[in-house]
Structure 1
């Protein structure tokens, strides 16, 4: 089991959380709390960089939905970057791939957001 790590980073598009390790029933509350601690402003993007994620169960998927709702409540958007293939598959099967914006890299997510702004 890989310990969950969460590192806040700032980007020109808004707050970023770099997430690594296992995101499961035991660790999902920590990510949920980290998301709630952020207050994106209207027009910003809250970005979850999942490049270091090694495992994600349904509890983690629920945190992504909660993060989307949190961002929307502040007039911001949520995006996921560097999503591991197994998590992309789960998001696709659940239909959440149609709802959550996903990018191959953090830089692409930031650039796309800034070009729309």
Structure 2
């Protein structure tokens, strides 16, 4: 039995994608871990045809190394394709891992007020 069978991924994370002429906003709520990171990766990968991509992590309650890898890959892909990448964060569960790993600076993460998300 896999972990996915024990706890369905859709109960752990919600990923909403909003598209406009200005770009794509991927809004993530819940836990980003080894079980849910592939869903985030798929949403991010699908957004690289847009001129800009915002990954809104304001609602994330847990972020592990699998989620950090998704963000690092997004940075590399955005750089290669000339896509403007914004990453928004507010809570310690996201801010601290990004700071410890050095991704905070690499990604140029924008600190937003809790609940502000991509409205910032």
Q: Same fold (TM over 0.5)?
A: yes
The alpha-carbon deviation at position 96 of structure 1 amounts to 1.2
The alpha-carbon deviation at position 95 of structure 1 amounts to 1.2
Give the whole-Å Cα distance in 1 for the aligned partners of 2:74 and 2:53.
8
SS of residue paired to 2:74? helix
Contact map agreement 1:15 1:46 (CA 8 A) in 2: yes
SS of residue paired to 1:39? coil
Give the whole-Å Cα distance in 1 for the aligned partners of 2:30 and 2:58.
10
Give the whole-Å Cα distance in 1 for the aligned partners of 2:27 and 2:95.
17
Following superposition, which runs of at least 4 residues in structure 1 exceed 6 angstroms of deviation? none
Task: Give the match for residue 106 of structure 1.
Answer: 118
- CA RMSD across the alignment: 1.9
Q: Does residue 45 of structure 2 align to residue 33 of structure 1?
A: no
Give the whole-Å Cα distance in 1 for the aligned partners of 2:103 and 2:89.
16
Task: Give the match for residue 53 of structure 2.
Answer: 46
Task: Give the match for residue 112 of structure 1.
Answer: none
Give the whole-Å Cα distance in 2 for the aligned partners of 1:48 and 1:83.
12
The alpha-carbon deviation at position 12 of structure 1 amounts to 5.6
Structure 2 gaps of 5+ residues are 1-6
Q: Does residue 12 of structure 2 align to residue 3 of structure 1?
A: yes
Structure 1 gaps of 5+ residues are 109-117
Query: Which protein shows a greater Rg?
Result: 2
